Structures are given as C-alpha cells and as structure tokens.
C-alpha cells in the first residue's frame, strides 16, 4: 500500500495522523535496487508504517560529481516499493523541490570531524557534511523511531551513528548487510554507468577486498604482515583501475587499528572510467 | 531558591522530575552581571523553573583568545542568582568538566553559513560554530521551553534563531535589551579587563554607535549619505582605539540593507588594548 507524498507540509500533516504507530525510515536517493529493497523489507517487518524518502540531495555532491546525471526513476521506484511493502503501509516522500528540505534562508550545516576525515572524506570534501545535514533534516521532518541504512556506505553509517549520539536524536540506527550481484559486485545505483568491460574491471573491488580479508585473518589481524601489505601494494599499483584507497581501519573509530580494536573494516574505493565505486568487508575479533 | 548541579547525569535526572513544568533557560559563561540578571529575571517571571547554565565553552574561543583568563566566579554568581531568582526555583547547571558537555568521542559541529560570515565572523573564525554547537548541546541537555539571550550579542542571536528554525528545535528564543552602565558602556564580563584610561577609550564604542544611529535616522536610512559615511570613515580612522568593524546591515539577514529592509543593525567591534568589545543599536523602519 504505497502512498506518494510530494511536499513537506503534506508529509507533516500525514505524519501527525500516525499518532503512536511505530515508524521506520528508509532514506534513499531513489533509483532503488535490491539493496534498498532489503532495507524496506526490514523496516516493513519491524514497524507499523514505513516512510521511504527519495531525494537526490545536492549538498552531498561535489561540484565535479554526478548530481545532474544521477538516475531519477520515480515510476520504477514506486513499483518496486509496491512489491516490497507487500500491502503494508508505506509512505513514499519524494519532495518536488529542494526547498522542501532546505527552505529559503536555510543556513545550517552539521559536520563530523574525525570520522569524516579518512576514506571517502579525503576524496569527497564536504560530502559527509551534506549527508549529516540531510539525514538530520529527514529525521526531523519524518520523526521515525528507527532508520535503516546499508552497510556499503560504511563511513556514512559511522557518521550518522555518531551524530545521533552527539545530538541526542531519538532514532535507532539499523544497519543492513551489503547486497551483492551474482558476480560479487555490491549493488549501487552507479553500477549502471558501467559498460561490460568496465564491469569486469569493477569486480577487482570486491575480489581484492575478499582476498585482503582472507590474508588479514590468516595473519591474525596483523596489519604489518608482509604477505598482506605486499598484496595491498600490488593491488593499488594495478593501472587498469584507479584505486582511491584500500585501507584497514578500526571499524568503530575509523582510525588505524590499535590493541583495543574489536572489529576491523577493510574498505576500498576505486574509479572505473568516470564511475566511482565503494565497498567494504568487516572482520571481527574472535 | 538556587540549586547547584555539577554533572550532566545529575541534571538529566533533576530535569525529568520537572515533568510538565514550564522551563526557561539562561545559558551563560558565568561571571554574571546585571545583563545576565535581566535575562534571569525575565525567565523567572515567565516560567515555573529557570535553569541557568554556567559553562566557559572552549569551542567558542580562538587559539589566541582569552579562554584561560576568562573570569570564573561561581561563588559570586550563585549569590547573584539567589538574589535575582527571589525565591523562585532556579537550577544552576555548572558542569565540572568539559566532558559533561562534550563526551569523549564527541565529533559533531553545527555551523551557520551566511549568518556567520560578516561582523564578528570575519575576526573570530570558528567562534560561531562553537556557539551554535554548545547552544544545541545545552538545549538538548536541559530541554527548555524558552531560552533568553542578550541583544548585545546580536549576531549570536541571529545565528541561534536560524539554527532553531533550520533544525526544528522546539525552543522559543527570547531576546532581551542591552543593559548599559551609567556611562553608556554595554555590560560585559570583559569590561573588567579595562583600566580607567581604557574604559574612557572604550566609551567611543557606544558613543559612535549612538551618533551613527542619529545620522542614519536624519538621512532617512540612506547608507550612502555623505555626512554619515564621512562620520563612519573618521571614526574608524581614530588611532587611539582599534576598530574591527562598524557596519550597518539588514538586521534579519545580516547582509547589506536592501529596499526590503525593515530593521537595521548598526554594529561595532573594537579592541582597546587586548580587550575586545562589541555593541550594537537597531533602527526600525517607521
């Protein structure tokens, strides 16, 4: 039972009618795939009402990034949501204008410090400010009890969790596993930018992460192990693709691992042609 | 009836006991004077409980500013509050540690864009990020219905009002008029840094603003009026004091006035020796 809402004022009126019903939020930029579907399914199973937001947030794109060509496919998205929500109440909030999210005169930015510096933060200045600010806005407009995010955007998740803690926001943050295609590539709206040859190259991202994780476990989580560091060095030197990073960090602080580390994230970003892809694997201490 | 609370956990427990009582907040950095007293009085008159916070916020001081020498006078402050609250419930929240406000790992900054660029923003980079972030934190810890701020910090007020709007914070922001000493100097904790000669020089701040306002009214709010611009030029050239700015701006946007301007702020900042002072006068359209 999908209900499309196109303005913030309308959404607020509708939200008020939900009273005490448990509300789950799935914030998206649209162009939904099975990754998003898994988030919606989780929310539908655990909440009385699910709100899916579809908003391509200009604040999280850099000046040379793909804001304008980012795929907008509202009709298809609604069809997918209709299937996935399976008769359960699902409000789709797809604001018609940017002003719905950022009214005229809007002047506030929420930024994270330490957590937004490593990994993607190095290559996408301002990106996580845009993410934190829009997620705050979506939370304050939709007032959910819980919100669902995919683990593919690992740094985004860490940032949102920290923001929620720091700003005392009463929303439970739930992370769902990465969904992969048959060939191992993590699902992403950006995968459709890839032609057949690009896709073949892109597979180096998940395969390198998988092999790194295997070596990392074999050497008992020693980030200075020669076999591991050589493998990473050789991978990064591969000239067929353009790696931005391939890092092993403490999964909760996103800093270099220490003796206190309980979980590691092995995270990578690469460009294949003009398409930028990210992926990660986490490894737990036994 | 003043009750001193020294930790956030204790404050939160106490806040929960207030139930539906109307709570007013007066955020301060301590070293209270009659300016603060007027805020507390306003809150006491309009609320069932007043919370006064006393916290010298490191995030709003620049590396070369007076964080360390900023006067800390808790005993005197409590005495003043006891007098001013006049038997009405007044919780004084003076956290013992910085971690009470910013727990370990705290990583979030709230910043305003356009509103934090002019005036003091030019001379105190990062200052208003610190102000917005601490005010958000104090709001989320104390959960007041209304909060009282002095009009002397005009830009701070504009920034807090905008943040509250942008982030949907359910707190009413109330501005109280500047309180001045017998000689016209706006009350400030920093006035005590001034010796007798400095104080005489400091009076040029309110007197220049007053004369500017008079000329501005006489020329019917024409910021390009020759008499007015000459007066401002000559004032700024005075080598006995160090003006940082003396600007006439639209009071709501803090941008250069336009045909739509309904209220102007004439704002100045000057340094007398090492002491930095600010003041302002607003002028309404008739």
Distance CA B1, CA B51 (A): 12
In tens digits, what is the pLDDT along chain A, a chain of 286 residues? 899 999 999 999 999 999 899 999 999 999 999 999 999 999 999 999 999 999 999 999 999 999 999 999 999 999 999 999 999 999 999 999 999 999 999 999 999 999 999 999 999 999 999 999 999 999 999 999 999 999 999 999 999 999 999 999 999 999 999 999 999 999 999 999 999 999 999 999 999 999 999 999 999 999 999 999 999 999 999 999 999 999 999 999 999 999 999 999 999 999 999 999 999 999 999 8
Look at residue B286 and tell me if it is in a domain.
no
Interface touch B162/A112, C-beta < 8 Å: no
Question: Does B116 share its domain with B220?
Answer: no
In tens digits, what is the pLDDT along chain B, a chain of 286 residues? 899 999 999 999 999 999 899 999 999 999 999 999 999 999 999 999 999 999 999 999 999 999 999 999 999 999 999 999 999 999 999 999 999 999 999 999 999 999 999 999 999 999 999 999 999 999 999 999 999 999 999 999 999 999 999 999 999 999 999 999 999 999 999 999 999 999 999 999 999 999 999 999 999 999 999 999 999 999 999 999 999 999 999 999 999 999 999 999 999 999 999 999 999 999 999 8
Question: Does A130 share its domain with A203?
Answer: no
Question: Does B87 share its domain with B223?
Answer: no
Q: How many domains does chain B have?
A: 2
| Nearest to A85, CA basis, from A201, A1, A169, A197 | A1
Q: Which residues of A237-275 are buried (b: 16+ CB within 10 A; e: fewer)?
A: eeeebebbbbbbbbbbbbeebeeebeebbbbbbbebeeb
- Long-range (24+ apart) CB contacts under 8 A made by A58-63 are A58/A98, A58/A130, A59/A102, A59/A126, A59/A129, A59/A130, A59/A133, A59/A134, A60/A127, A60/A128, A60/A130, A60/A131, A60/A134, A61/A127, A61/A130, A62/A124, A62/A125, A62/A126, A62/A127
Look at residue B128 and tell me if it is in a domain.
yes
Query: B-chain residues within 8 Å CB-CB of A166?
Result: 106-108
Distance CA A16, CA B53 (A): 34
pLDDT for A79 equals 98
Chosen domain end from A176, A205, A225: A176
Question: Does B9 share its domain with B117?
Answer: yes
Chosen domain end from B176, B205, B237: B176
pLDDT digits (tens, 9 = 90+) for A36-92: 999 999 999 999 999 999 999 999 999 999 999 999 999 999 999 999 999 999 999
Look at residue B80 and tell me if it is in a domain.
yes
Domain hosting residue A213, numbered range: 189-281
Look at residue B35 and tell me if it is in a domain.
yes
pLDDT for A286 equals 81
Q: How many CB atoms lie within 10 A of CB B117?
A: 14
Do A281 and A213 contact (CB within 8 A), yes or no? yes
pLDDT for A70 equals 95
Interface touch B113/A109, C-beta < 8 Å: yes
This prediction's pTM = 0.96
Interface touch A168/B140, C-beta < 8 Å: yes
Question: Does B162 share its domain with B215?
Answer: no
Question: B163 at the A interface (CB within 8 A)?
Answer: yes
3-state secondary structure of B90: strand
Query: A-chain residues within 8 Å CB-CB of B112?
Result: 107-109
B50 sits in which H/E element: strand B49-54
For the domain that residue A19 is a member of, what is the CATH number? Answer: 3.40.50.620
Phi-psi map region of B87: left, alpha, beta (phi>0 left; psi -120 to 50 alpha): left
Distance CA A107, CA A218 (A): 50
Interface touch A112/B108, C-beta < 8 Å: yes
Distance CA B274, CA A123 (A): 41
| Nearest to B91, CA basis, from B141, B52, B54 | B52
| Nearest to A138, CA basis, from A173, A87, A165 | A173
pLDDT digits (tens, 9 = 90+) for B220-245: 999 999 999 999 999 999 999 999 99
pLDDT for A262 equals 97
Residue B85 CB-density burial (10 A; 0-12 exposed, 13-18 middle, 19+ buried)? buried
Distance CA B213, CA B47 (A): 35
Look at residue A181 and tell me if it is in a domain.
no
Token match 């060509």: residue? Answer: A69
pLDDT for B1 equals 85
Of how many residues is chain B composed? Answer: 286
Look at residue B213 and tell me if it is in a domain.
yes
pLDDT for B4 equals 98
pLDDT for B286 equals 81
- Work out the minimum CA distance from B278 to partner chain A, whole angstroms: 24
Interface touch B162/A107, C-beta < 8 Å: yes
Question: Does B153 share its domain with B213?
Answer: no
pLDDT for B233 equals 97
Question: Best residue in B166, B167, B168, B252 to probe A by mutation, most A CBs within 10 Å?
Answer: B166
Q: Is the dihedral of CA A73, A75, A80, A86 positive or negative?
A: positive
Question: Does A165 share its domain with A52?
Answer: yes
Do A270 and A241 contact (CB within 8 A), yes or no? yes
Interface touch B136/A108, C-beta < 8 Å: no
Do B253 and B265 contact (CB within 8 A), yes or no? no
Look at residue A183 and tell me if it is in a domain.
no
Q: Residues of A numbered 91-130 whose beta carbons fall under 8 angstroms of chain B's beta carbons: which are they?
A: 105-115
Do B248 and B266 contact (CB within 8 A), yes or no? yes
- Work out the minimum CA distance from A5 to partner chain B, whole angstroms: 20
Chosen domain end from A128, A153, A176: A176
Question: Does B25 share its domain with B109?
Answer: yes
pLDDT for A85 equals 96
pLDDT for B173 equals 98
| Nearest to A166, CA basis, from A108, A106, A112 | A112
Question: Does B134 share its domain with B209?
Answer: no
Look at residue A220 and tell me if it is in a domain.
yes
CA–CA distance from A192 to each of A209, A277, B19 (Å)? 21, 11, 54
Query: A-chain residues within 8 Å CB-CB of B166?
Result: 106-108
Question: Does B32 share its domain with B123?
Answer: yes
Question: Does B48 share its domain with B162?
Answer: yes
For the domain that residue B257 is a member of, what is the CATH number? Answer: 3.30.1300.10
Closest Cβ–Cβ partner in A112, A140, A166 for B167: A140
Interface touch B107/A162, C-beta < 8 Å: yes
Closest Cβ–Cβ partner in B108, B111, B113 for A167: B108
Distance CA A87, CA A1 (A): 5
Do A137 and A108 contact (CB within 8 A), yes or no? no
Question: Which residue numbers of A are catalytic?
Answer: 36
Question: Does A158 share its domain with A193?
Answer: no
Do B130 and B42 contact (CB within 8 A), yes or no? no
């Amino acid at each position: 039972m999908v209900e499309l809402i196109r303005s913030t004022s309308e959404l607020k009126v509708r939200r008020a009618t939900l009273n005490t019903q448990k509300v789950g939020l799935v914030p998206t930029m649209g162009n939904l795939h099975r990754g998003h579907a898994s988030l919606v399914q989780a929310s539908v199973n655990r909440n009385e009402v699910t709100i899916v937001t579809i908003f391509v947030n200009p604040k999280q794109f850099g000046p040379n990034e793909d804001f304008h060509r980012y795929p907008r496919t509202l009709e298809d998205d609604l069809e997918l949501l209709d299937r996935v929500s399976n008769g359960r109440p699902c409000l789709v909030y797809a604001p018609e204008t940017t002003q719905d999210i950022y009214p005229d005169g809007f002047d506030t930015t929420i930024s994270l410090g330490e957590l937004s510096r490593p990994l993607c933060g190095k290559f996408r200045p301002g990106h996580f400010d845009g993410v934190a600010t829009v997620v705050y806005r979506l939370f304050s407009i939709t007032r959910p009890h819980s919100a669902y995010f995919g683990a593919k955007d690992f740094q985004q998740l860490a940032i949102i969790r920290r923001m929620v803690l720091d700003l005392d926001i009463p929303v439970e943050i739930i992370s769902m596993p990465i969904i992969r295609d048959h060939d191992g590539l993590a699902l992403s709206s950006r995968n459709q930018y890839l032609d057949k040859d690009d896709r073949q190259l892109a597979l180096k991202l998940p395969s390198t992460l998988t092999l790194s994780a295997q070596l990392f476990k074999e050497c008992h989580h020693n980030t200075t192990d020669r076999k591991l560091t050589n493998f990473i060095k050789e991978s990064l030197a591969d000239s067929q693709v353009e790696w931005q990073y391939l890092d092993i960090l403490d999964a909760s602080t996103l800093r270099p691992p220490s003796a206190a580390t309980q979980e590691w994230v092995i995270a990578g970003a690469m460009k294949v042609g003009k398409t930028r892809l990210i992926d990660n694997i986490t490894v737990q201490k036994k």
